[in-house]
């Protein structure tokens, strides 16, 4: 029936969908999605498929490749296409991900189209610098192919008639600047938060993070070239546009406050090298902005345009994603205009060895250090080592990591094994740590918690319950890792 109104529309007089029903197809099925539009987690984008097949869009957003989505869809079925019709609708769809780069098989994929994958955790804490091939990848769209010979970066001040265009060679002629910085996705450790209560998003483990050296030019120098006046208080944000785009031509985008870009100590760079080689295709070739201390989402890859503006980026990822909310806010009550976009991330730590549920051999007189068993001539206490990383946003440094195996009654101060010497608020890299924790003889099950403290003396909350948020961002609690030790 084309006249029934959905429950939500009856309460919203201005709802624009109440006039007519909207249908889509999937394989041979026809589905009335009218009532579902307002509930769709991906928002009004669903209307792109109105009157046609959802399949080309689902190739882009592989989040739909699960039984939950198909089950949902089944409830909306109103009929079927004849065989000929269904062929017409699906025949000439080419997969936009066909030309994505080849990836290292060790990367653990949370989704394939778009490609999202993390480093195996035990490898992550092996090295202070994460190798390019194993660095986590978080793409929202297909990887764009950019010819470095014809590449041009557009930089402009909105509404001021001021702009410059820079080729890759021109950019490389500006003073070179190298920083070592950790990039972390706001969704890092989402799978642990999900255990408390379901959240929406990719199920990341604890390895959607990595540390690399980045070489490029200071954004500050480029902004000066275009004539940005540091004292012009009306300019507040720098917007970035990637060259990856969705089926409507919309590009990935984000913005940061202008002060961060202009501050010499902000170290924001337009990077063309990652760990000493040209930035790999998955990480933004040929140019990517590195905004150290700030959430991964603002570190725009495949950078094509930089716009200095009075306003933040109006992209989906700046406005309707990557924001935090109260644990009691749900998808019915959430109002994305009420929370600021995440920039600097709070302090975090994670235990990567042993992993949750992993069985560890603790032998008399032997110590497990960084995955290797070493003979010890020391006291005959049973010891084991857990190894992890800790990091804080805003250029803060990790000053301490405390570890407990008895629910917080006694704490062991971890050894900060790898940490660079830069001072806060310019300490952009993570800290790798380890600790030897005594295990009482006869213990078979141990829960290990770690909490990091940063140079502002901020520390991590004790459980997920109190920081739970519907999008599953910023999981900064004490890291719990259960270890079975067989003796």
Q: Which residues are catalytic?
A: 40, 64, 138, 185, 322
Between 96 and 135, how does the x/- string for binding to Mo ion read (CB under 5 A)?
----------------------------------------
Please report whether residue 185 would count as binding Mo ion according to CB under 5 A: yes
**Partner in contact with 214, chosen from ligand MTE, Mo ion, ligand HEM, none, beta carbon below 5 to 8 Å by kind:** none
Report in angstroms the alpha-carbon separations of 147 from 131, 286, 374, 397: 24, 8, 50, 38
The residue (of 46 and 184) whose beta carbon lies closer to ligand HEM is 46
Please report whether residue 297 would count as binding Mo ion according to CB under 5 A: yes
The residue (of 86 and 239) whose beta carbon lies closer to ligand MTE is 239
CB of 474 to ligand HEM, least distance (A): 16
Give the number of other CB atoms < 10 A from CB of residue 43. 12
State the alpha helices, DSSP H only, in 264-337. Answer: 316-319
Structural contact between residues 120 and 126, judged by C-beta atoms closer than 8 angstroms: no
| SS3 label, residue 289 | strand
The residue (of 185 and 347) whose beta carbon lies closer to ligand MTE is 185
The span from the CA of 259 to the CA of 282, in Å, is: 29
Please report whether residue 135 would count as binding ligand MTE according to CB under 6 A: yes
Give the number of other CB atoms < 10 A from CB of residue 453. 19
> Taking contact as CB under 6 A, which single stretch among the options 23-31, 137-145, 217-225, 352-360 is the one that binds ligand MTE?
137-145
Torsion angles phi and psi, residue 317, rounded to 5: -75, -15
Structural contact between residues 426 and 418, judged by C-beta atoms closer than 8 angstroms: no
Q: Report cis status (omega within 30 of 0) of the bond before 114.
A: yes
Torsion angle of the four alpha carbons 21, 25, 30, 33, in this order, in degrees rounded to the nearest 10: -40
For ligand MTE (CB under 6 A), the number of binding residues is 20
Q: Which residues neighbour 414 within 8 Å (Cβ) at sequence distance 6 or greater? A: 400, 401, 402, 403, 433, 434, 435, 450
CB of 155 to ligand MTE, least distance (A): 16
The residue (of 66 and 178) whose beta carbon lies closer to ligand HEM is 66
Please report whether residue 300 would count as binding ligand MTE according to CB under 6 A: yes
CB of 232 to ligand MTE, least distance (A): 27
Please report whether residue 184 would count as binding Mo ion according to CB under 5 A: no
The residue (of 179 and 186) whose beta carbon lies closer to Mo ion is 186
Structural contact between residues 386 and 433, judged by C-beta atoms closer than 8 angstroms: no
Among 6, 9, 60, 138, which residue interacts with ligand MTE (rule: CB under 6 A)? 138
CB of 24 to ligand HEM, least distance (A): 5
Structural contact between residues 370 and 353, judged by C-beta atoms closer than 8 angstroms: yes
Q: Which residues neighbour 106 within 8 Å (Cβ) at sequence distance 6 or greater? A: 119, 120, 123, 134
**Partner in contact with 433, chosen from Mo ion, ligand HEM, ligand MTE, none, beta carbon below 5 to 8 Å by kind:** none
The span from the CA of 473 to the CA of 470, in Å, is: 8
Please report whether residue 183 would count as binding Mo ion according to CB under 5 A: no
Q: How far is CA 397 from the centre of its chain?
A: 21
Please report whether residue 138 would count as binding Mo ion according to CB under 5 A: yes
The span from the CA of 348 to the CA of 262, in Å, is: 27
Please tell me what DSSP assigns to residue 112: T
Interacting positions 221-260 with ligand MTE (CB under 6 A)? 242, 244, 252
Place of tokens 């202008």: 258
Please tell me what DSSP assigns to residue 347: P
CB of 200 to ligand MTE, least distance (A): 14
**Partner in contact with 281, chosen from Mo ion, ligand MTE, ligand HEM, none, beta carbon below 5 to 8 Å by kind:** none
The residue (of 53 and 255) whose beta carbon lies closer to Mo ion is 255
The span from the CA of 97 to the CA of 326, in Å, is: 36
Residue with nearest beta carbon to Mo ion: 185
> Taking contact as CB under 6 A, which single stretch among the options 5-13, 18-26, 172-180, 299-307 is the one that binds ligand MTE?
299-307
> Taking contact as CB under 6 A, which single stretch among the options 130-138, 218-226, 375-383, 387-395 is the one that binds ligand MTE?
130-138
Contact residues toward ligand HEM (CB under 6 A) are: 24, 31, 33, 40-42, 45-46, 48-49, 54, 57, 61, 63-64, 69, 72-73, 200-201
What is the contact surface with Mo ion in residues (CB under 5 A)? Answer: 138, 185, 296-297
What is the contact surface with ligand MTE in residues (CB under 6 A)? Answer: 135-141, 183, 185, 242, 244, 252, 282-283, 296-297, 299-302
């Amino acid at each position: 029936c084309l006249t029934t109104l959905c429950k939500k529309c009856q309460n919203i007089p201005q709802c624009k969908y109440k006039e007519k029903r909207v249908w889509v197809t999937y394989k041979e099925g026809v589905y009335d999605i009218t009532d579902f539009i307002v509930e769709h987690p991906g928002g009004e984008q669903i209307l792109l498929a109105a009157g046609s097949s959802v399949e080309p869009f689902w190739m882009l957003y592989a989040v739909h490749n699960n039984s939950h989505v198909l089950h949902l869809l089944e409830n909306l079925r109103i009929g079927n296409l004849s065989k000929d019709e269904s062929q017409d609708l699906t025949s000439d769809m080419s997969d936009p991900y066909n030309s994505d780069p080849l990836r290292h098989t060790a990367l653990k994929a949370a989704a394939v189209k778009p490609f999202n994958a993390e480093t195996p955790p035990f490898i992550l804490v092996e090295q202070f610098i994460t190798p390019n091939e194993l660095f986590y990848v978080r793409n929202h769209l297909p990887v764009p192919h950019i010819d470095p010979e014809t590449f041009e970066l557009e930089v402009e001040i909105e509404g001021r008639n001021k702009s410059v265009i820079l080729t890759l060679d021109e950019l490389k002629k500006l003073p070179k600047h190298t920083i070592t910085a950790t990039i972390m996705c706001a969704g890092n450790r989402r799978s642990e938060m999900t255990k408390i209560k379901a959240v929406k998003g990719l199920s990341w483990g604890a390895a959607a993070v990595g540390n690399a050296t980045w070489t490029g030019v200071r954004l500050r120098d480029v902004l000066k070239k275009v004539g940005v006046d540091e004292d012009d208080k009306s300019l507040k944000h720098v917007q970035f546009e990637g060259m990856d785009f969705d089926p409507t031509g919309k590009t990935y985008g984000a913005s940061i406050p202008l002060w961060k870009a202009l501050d010499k100590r902000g170290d924001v760079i337009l990077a063309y090298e990652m760990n000493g080689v040209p930035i790999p295709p998955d990480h933004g070739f040929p140019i990517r902005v590195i905004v150290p201390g700030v959430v991964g989402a603002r570190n725009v890859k495949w950078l094509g345009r930089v716009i200095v503006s009075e306003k933040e980026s109006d992209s989906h990822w700046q406005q309707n994603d990557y924001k935090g909310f109260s644990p009691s806010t749900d998808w019915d009550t959430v109002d994305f205009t009420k929370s600021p976009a995440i920039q600097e991330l709070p302090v975090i730590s994670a235990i990567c060895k042993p992993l949750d549920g992993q069985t560890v051999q603790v032998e008399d007189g032997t110590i497990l250090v960084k995955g290797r068993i070493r003979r010890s001539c020391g006291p005959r206490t049973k010891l084991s080592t857990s190894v992890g990383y800790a990091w804080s946003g805003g250029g803060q440094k990790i000053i301490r990591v405390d570890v407990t195996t008895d629910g917080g009654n006694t704490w062991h101060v971890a050894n900060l094994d790898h940490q660079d010497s830069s001072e806060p608020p310019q300490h952009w890299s993570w800290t790798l740590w380890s600790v030897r924790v005594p295990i009482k003889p006869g213990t078979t099950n141990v829960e290990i918690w770690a909490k990091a403290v940063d140079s502002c003396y901020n520390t991590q909350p004790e459980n997920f319950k109190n920081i739970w948020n519907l999008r599953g961002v910023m999981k900064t609690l004490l890291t719990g890792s259960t270890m079975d030790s067989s003796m």
